[in-house]
Structure formats: structure tokens, C-alpha cells
Amino acid sequence: MNASPGLDRRAFLQLLGGGIVVLVSLDPTALLADEARRLYPEDFNAYLVIGRDGRVTVFSGKIEMGQGVMTSQAQMVAEELGVDLAAIDMVLGDTDRCPWDMGTFGSLTTRMFGPALRAAAAQARLVLTTLAAERLGVPADRLEIRHGVAVVAGDPARSVSYAQLAKGARITRVVDRKAVLRAAADFQVMGLSPQRLDAVEKVTGVARYAADLRLPGMLYGRVLRPPMHGASLATLDTAAAAALPGVTVVRRDDLVAVLHADPEAAAAALEAVRATWRLPEAKLDRDSIFGHILAASDELTDVASRGDIGAARAGAVRTFETTYRKGYVAHAPLEPHAALAEFKDGRMTVWASTQTPFPARDRIAAVLGLSAKDVRVITPFVGGGFGGKSASDQAIEAARLAQITGKPVQVAWTRAEEFFKDTFDPAAVVRIASGVDRAGGISLWDYTVYAAGARGASLPYATPNARIRSAGKNSEGPVPAGVGVHPFAVGPWRGPGANMNVFAIESQIDIMAAALGVDPLEFRLRNLTDERMKRVLQAAADAFGWKAAATPSGRGHGIACSIDAGSYVATMAEVRVDPATGRVKVLRIVCAQDMGIVVNPVGAKMQIEGGLTMGLGYTLSEDLRFRGGEILDRNFDTYEIPRFTAAPRIEAVLVKNDALAPQGGGEPAVTTTGAVIANAVFDATGARLLRLPMSPDRILEALAAKGAA
């Protein structure tokens, strides 16, 4: 996407067939919902081709980073087209071959691209059935589709296969009506959990990630990094590096790099580069950042407003005012960013670990001064993304170096570079003033979120008086270093904004329930009018074995619920807190989720388990250390992500709702992690933690404060 002065980058969407359209919505979900029909091609040939051998190649701009969409998308096509799953080959994230896509984020693959993909496969089936009827001289309604073959009902000798009809070519026949999607009750491939298409490759080491790719004559490029964000180069001496055998030194504008045919030799050459830097004053750290965020966020945007806040505050029988905080969190995928670029015959091809191949293509073209049609981005398997592989800077670096040197160049970031160049989940603050009436109903909800964004800020509970406001840039799109209130780049992180908002909302609900001496599940059910949420809470309670009690009960049971990406989720957890060390041991988690039609139940459960496990990081241990623009955490020794000993038993429960089209699955569960654990810690100890992560020192501090009170 081209950067345009004064306008948010994410406001631009390139449409198929060229041209730029400006969309004003701030929520990419709503934006895609409105524009999906225009953005995704109508012609089913853009999504699939049927070869002479009967194999079906499916083209999708979505990428596979672990979420299982290589398989779930193939299931959708197999179901709607009427072929075996084993007959499908997936081509993902190749900008030359796949229909345009904005990127793989926001739990949008199944709920936004899915309908377009299913519709394309269904339309192909309709057209092929029509062609088969003409070929066989029977009415179309006498045909049955079995494993990619149209068979005359009751006369199996008469048949014609998709392969014979399509012959690997574009199908130009147009049928003047829209195919109907298959009903959930008739599913034969969707709704099941077949072996993942990437399974054998991934357990044999055959699966290729960007850093695994090799081209003849390629060089490994290492880029010089400043010691902190905001630093500028003062002096540079590359003579010693250039003197090493086989080293190429590149200096072009802001880009300083050394290249070598061997990765360890390239690393040694970078060590030999002498640079000095002008450093900005480092003022902020992980404790002072919150005051800075509050001071810098002067403009509040209304997200929702109803009733009379002033009157509600005066009329409440009890009011509760709380401030919640959360630190910066790294994406830390196990695969650091990598890209391989080759410039050949005026065309740039870049294999990149990216969640956004099409926007990456456009950025590469803009930076290199090429037309977008002369740039191709191909996405191999991506080793985790979680929102962090949207900026694609490594692809730009590789492409620039390939253009400058005329040789294929691979840029694979080290772990320290991965931490330095990350677009972190922003530190954030939420302030809530809430109140209850005589009947125990929520009569006041005055909510302001700073720096996290408004996703997940809506209150799922019924209240007559609510005001919800958001300040500062939200985290739906990357915000580069030097822009906004943060000392380095921030961006979307699995469940962006919602992790902070749900932590604050669901903690506040628990505070009110505890003050009234009401069981927290009962308090929630009492204040909910949304039947879907009640059902999901009940499903979680049944699976968990929830027994009503006022908190703190000493049992260490917690509860939290949220609505995200169209899915409803309710989570319950049991924890034990060691009063001597402040360590929280999560014993078990139960999570119930209503996500509409489930395309692949095991895949959906894996996303729930994965989200909750990952969420335990920002909840208990992950809190980026920095000094101004200097990132102090550079590896997993000091930045602690959840390990096996921290991973609890998780039971995921899928609440059946086949009346609803498939909803998002990658993010909803993770949004409940902070609150469910904070509420369980309160139930165990009576100490209320208002800041994430709830590291042992903060737990001890809270326990001491409670003891002193």
C-alpha cells in the first residue's frame, strides 16, 4: 500500500483491476464486510482450476501460519465442488496466481474469504453440472456429483468427469443463476477434521519456510541496526568488513548491509562494521509509559453512548472506579522474519514470511520504483505470525539488496532483530467508572480505553447508561516508530485491543459481583439479555463443573467471556497461587465457543487451546523491557513465553450453532485470558490485580497490600 500523507495507510485498499478506493471505516472487519463482494472476484476461475488429471488447484491469497487454513479452505472447496479432499492442491499467498487479498489477520479467512471461496466452488459445480448434462443428454437434475464425476442417477455407466469437462482450462461457460451453498446438515467434508494437508511435510522437515529456500548464487544479507529506535547514524566504517574475503558491502540511503554467500560469514562481516550513533534521550520505561499515554491522549472518540451518565452516577447505590494497565507484548513467533528475493529480467520475485503478500508486493514495488505487475510475492509456510508479520520490512530489505547487487539475496532476521523490529502490542490503560442499582443491575458504565483501540470495548451486558470512549491510535494496523505515543513501532497482536479491553471489562464485572456478594456467573447471567452469551456461559459452566459461590472463595476459580470476530466465548479457569513466591499455577482451563458453523472442529479447538496458552504469556510473564527506543529484551532468556510446565490442561467446547455462517476462530479465546486468570487469582487470594502481566513480584505486592489493609 502506498503511504499517502495525512491518511492512514490502512484506509487504502487496492481493488482488483487497479485503482485505489478510500474507505472511511476504522474497523477492517466492517470494511471487509461492506467491500467483500467488490474486492473478491466474481469469476470462479480465479479461485480454482481443474486439471486433465482431475486434480483441483485452489488459489487463495490467505497464507498458512499454523491456523490450519490450508486445510479448512480445501475442505470448503471439496464440499461445495463435490470432489475428494485428496484431489485438492492449495496455492496460498502467491500474488501472481491468487486473487487479491488484504492479508491474513483479524480472524477473517473463514468468515470473510470463506463465503467467496465457497460461492466460487459452488458456482463451478453448477456450471460443470450444466456442461455434464449437455454432454450426457440428460436434465441436470438427473445428475449426481460423486468424487468429481457427474453420474446419471440410476445409470452409473453414463458419466463424465470434471477433468474431462474442464481439461485444465478456464471454464468460460456462464450460467445465469447463483449456486446455493450446501446446508450444514448435508456436509460431507466440512464439519469433519481430516488429516491436515500440511501434516506430513511438517513432521518430516520437508515443509519449507522462507529461510529454507535456496537459489544458485544467492547471498545472505545482514542489515546494520541502530542500538535504539530514533537513533541516527553518525559515523560508519565498513573497511574492515569489506576487506573480508567474499564480502559485499551495500550502503544506500538508510540501508547499510553486508552480504556473503555463507550466513555465518555474513554475520562475522556485520561484526566487523564500525558505526557510531546519535541517540535520542531515553525517557520512558515500562513503569513511566502509562502516565505518558494518559498525558498524550487528549482526543477521545465516542465508541458508544446511551442514557445519562451523570444521572446514573448520582443514582447508583454503589460505584466502582478502577484503572487497568497492561505492558507491551512481543509477537515472538518461533520463525523470525525471512525473505529471499531474486531480480531477473526486470521482475522482482520475493519469497517472504508475511501475513500480507499483496500489500507487501505493493510496498516493494513502491520502494523499488517498479510497477506492481513486475513484483511477485510468494508466501511459503509461515512459522507463526499473530499479527506481527504484516509490515514485511524484511521483504523490502531483501528486494532492495537483490536489486542493488543483482544477485538473489536472503534476509533472515536474528532473534535480536526480531525483538528490535517487532510491532509490539501496545501498552494500554483503561479507566472504568461503573455502578449498580438496588436490584444488582449494572446502572452505570463509563469506560475509556487509552492506546489499545476499541476492539472488544463494547459491553456485552445490558445497562441503560453507558459511555464508551477510545483515545489514541488503535492497534488494528501497524504504527511505525516515531509516530504516536509509543517509543517504537506497535501493531496488531492476536486479538488486538480486545485482550486489554476484555481484561478490564471482565475484571470490573467481577469486582462488582464480589462487592455484592453474588456468584460471578450468576451476576453475569443476571445482567445479560443476549441469549447466545448466556448459552455459551452455561456450556462452559457445565464442562467446568462451576459451583456458585461468592468470591473470594479460596478455590481459585475464575470466569470471563467476550464477543470477538463474530464468535462468542466463555472461559473458566482454576489456579493456585503460591503465597511465598507469588507464582500463579494455572491448573486447568475450560473454554466454550459458539463460532457458528464449524468447518474443522479439531482445528477450531487447536486455535482455542493455542490462543489461551499464548494468552498466558501477556497475562503472567510477558512485559517488554525497554529504555526509550532501546529494546532490552533480545531473546527468550529474559522474555519469557509460556513453556510446557506453564501450559495447563485446556478443554475446548464447541457450542453448536449451525444456523449461523462460520465465524472467526483464531482470536476470540485469547481475549479472555487476562480476565479469567485475574479473576481466578482474586478468588484464590482476595487480591485484585489491575496490571498485566501478573508477574510474581506484582502478585506478592498485591498480597502484601491486602494483608496490610
Partner 1 sequence: MKNSIKFRLNGRPTTLQAADDRMLLWALRTDLGLTGSKYGCGEGICGACTVVVDGKAVRACVTPLTSVAGKDVVTVEGLAHGGRLHPLQQSFIDHGAFQCGYCTPGMLMSAFALLRETPRPAHDAVVAHMDRNLCRCGAHQRIVDAIEAAAKATAKST
Q: Which residues bind partner 1 (CB under 8 A)?
A: 65-68, 195-196, 198-209, 211-212, 214, 262-264, 332-336, 381-384, 386, 412, 414-415, 602-603, 606, 609-614, 635-637, 641-645, 647-650
Return the bridge partners of 14, or none.
20
> 630: which DSSP letter?
E
Closer CB to partner 1, 142 or 225, in the complex: 225
Closer CB to partner 1, 129 or 354, in the complex: 354
Least distance to partner 1, CB of residue 302, Å: 36
Closer CB to partner 1, 125 or 196, in the complex: 196
From residue 292, give the alpha-carbon distance in Å to each of 300, 427, 452, 673: 16, 11, 14, 26
Closest by alpha carbon to 379, among 414, 350, 409? 350
Least distance to partner 1, CB of residue 244, Å: 13
Residue type, 164: Q
Identify whether the C-beta of residue 210 lies closer than 8 Å to the C-beta of residue 340: yes
Least distance to partner 1, CB of residue 227, Å: 19
Least distance to partner 1, CB of residue 340, Å: 12
Closer CB to partner 1, 612 or 692, in the complex: 612
Least distance to partner 1, CB of residue 416, Å: 8
Least distance to partner 1, CB of residue 18, Å: 34
* Peptide linkage before 552 cis (omega within 30 of 0): yes
Instruction: Quickly list DSSP for 656-690.
Output: P-TTS-----SSTGGGGHHHHHHHHHHHHHS----
Least distance to partner 1, CB of residue 442, Å: 33
Closer CB to partner 1, 211 or 509, in the complex: 211
Least distance to partner 1, CB of residue 510, Å: 25
How many other CB atoms are there within 10 angstroms of residue 93's CB atom? 30
Least distance to partner 1, CB of residue 70, Å: 11
Least distance to partner 1, CB of residue 641, Å: 6
User: Helices then strands (H, E): number in the chain?
Assistant: 18, 29
Least distance to partner 1, CB of residue 212, Å: 4
**CA–CA–CA angle 683, 684, 685 (5° rounding):** 100
Instruction: Quickly list DSSP for 553-586.
Output: -SS-EEEEEEEETTEEEEEEEEEEE-TTT--EEE
Only one residue has cell 465442488, namely 81
Closer CB to partner 1, 187 or 209, in the complex: 209
Closer CB to partner 1, 382 or 540, in the complex: 382
Q: Assign residue 120 a region: left if phi > 0, alpha if psi is -120 to 50, beta otherwise? A: alpha
Closer CB to partner 1, 198 or 437, in the complex: 198
Q: Which residues contact 333 (CB under 8 A, 6 or more apart)?
A: 65, 382, 383, 384, 385, 386, 388, 389, 418
Closer CB to partner 1, 263 or 484, in the complex: 263
Closer CB to partner 1, 212 or 630, in the complex: 212
From residue 179, give the alpha-carbon distance in Å to each of 54, 79, 112, 489, 658: 22, 13, 18, 45, 20
Encode 469-487: b = buried (16+ Cβ within 10 Å), e = exposed. bbbbbbbbbbbbbeebbbb
Residue type, 430: V
Q: Which residues contact 209 (CB under 8 A, 6 or more apart)?
A: 335, 338, 353, 380, 381, 382, 383
Closer CB to partner 1, 278 or 643, in the complex: 643
Closer CB to partner 1, 487 or 611, in the complex: 611
Only one residue has cell 531473546, namely 635
Closer CB to partner 1, 70 or 595, in the complex: 70
The three grid cell numbers given for residue 144, joined into one nine-digit string: 449426481
Identify whether the C-beta of residue 293 lies closer than 8 Å to the C-beta of residue 256: no
Least distance to partner 1, CB of residue 326, Å: 19
How far apart CA 294 and CA 449 sit, in angstroms, is 10
Least distance to partner 1, CB of residue 297, Å: 31
Only one residue has cell 503511504, namely 3
